[in-house]
Amino acid sequence: MGPIFKRINWPLLFIHFLAIPCFILGGQLLERIRWVPLRQAYQTGGLEGFRQASGTTDLAGTLSAIQLGPLYAWLAAVLLGCSLSALVMWRRREGVAVPLLLFGLAVVTSRTHYYKSKAVLQGLSSLLDVFAHSSRQTQLGIVGSAFVLLGLLPFLLTWAPPQALLMGQQNK
């Protein structure tokens, strides 16, 4: 194999891959925050309430932005995960195969739309219900931020090479 794929660290790839769903779910929850007032206006006032709350006559543009938001959040989450993985791999002086494989795995597994499954949506609903006393925007912000922070954890735990952790030394 070439120098790019000199050695694939499979455990590290798996650990970094676990962070991608957390980033996707967290990003999509945080993206929904800005649309909460419009959704509430639609639920209470119908289409007329939606028009008044949006403050624009371009309803098609607003609806397409609502529809495309989760896709943009997905793309940002995958790119963030791959970038953080590349930083860890650069710091550990390992090959660049892990971030490339991570991107491929994220795209392939996201085709199943696992983050839209009934079990995941019920779990998210249960997490949001923990903060039932708060507004919907606060609920989405807390749970979305928790998922993003949970996604950062694998990258922080794998930042230093294993030898540096065992010997108490910094990476050369």
Given a contact cutoff of 8 angstroms between Cβ atoms, the answer to whether 131 and 139 are in contact is yes
Whole-structure pTM value: 0.82
Contacts of 147 (CB under 8 A, 6+ apart): 22, 23, 25, 26, 29
Amino acid identity, position 39:
R
Residue-by-residue pLDDT tens, the chain, 172 positions = 555 555 788 888 899 999 999 999 999 999 999 989 888 888 888 888 888 888 777 788 888 888 999 899 999 999 999 999 999 988 888 878 889 999 999 999 888 878 788 998 899 999 999 998 999 999 999 999 999 999 999 999 888 766 655 555 554 4
CA distance readout (Å), 81 to 33, 121, 172: 22, 22, 25
Determine the Cα–Cα distance for residues 127 and 9; give it in Å rounded to an integer.
Answer: 34
Domain boundaries along the sequence of the chain: 13-158
